[in-house]
Amino acid sequence: MASFSSLSDLDIEKQVATLTRQLNDLKKVLARRGDAYYEDGREAASDYYSQLYDRLHEALPAIRRRGKVIERTARDHPATTAAVGLLVVGLLAGLLISRR
């Protein structure tokens, strides 16, 4: 059996102190890397948001025109609008019931 009598308390304390310093150094490195990843993610999200905003801003006039056309059609044909609405509600109800 191995004897631990050759190890002194001082050696163990030195090893623990060394390991503690190494662990603290690793924590600092990980924190720096985490900050870099966070910053990269934030920049990517900002770029995506900017692109999405630009596309929606360009498409908004066309969306408004189509919405007005749909609104006019719904006013001109209320019975058809009600039938389509009931059909959509029925389809949604069927989907919800079938998932249970």
Q: What is the mean pLDDT of each run of 10 residues along the chain (100 residues)?
A: 59 89 91 86 91 92 93 92 93 88
Query: 89 near 82, Cβ under 8 Å?
Result: no
Q: Establish if 24 belongs to a structural domain.
A: yes
CA distance 74 to 68: 10
How much is the pTM? Answer: 0.42
Question: DSSP code of 34?
Answer: H
Range of the domain at 22: 9-99
In a domain, 66, yes or no: yes
Q: Using CA atoms, how far apart are residues 27 and 21, in angstroms rounded to an integer? A: 10
Residue 1 lies in a domain: no
Number of Cβ within 10 Å of residue 66's Cβ equals 10
Q: How many domains does the chain have?
A: 1
Asked whether residue 38 is domain-assigned, the answer is: yes
Domain assignment present for 61: yes
47 domain-assigned: yes
The whole-angstrom separation of Cα 51 and Cα 89 is: 34
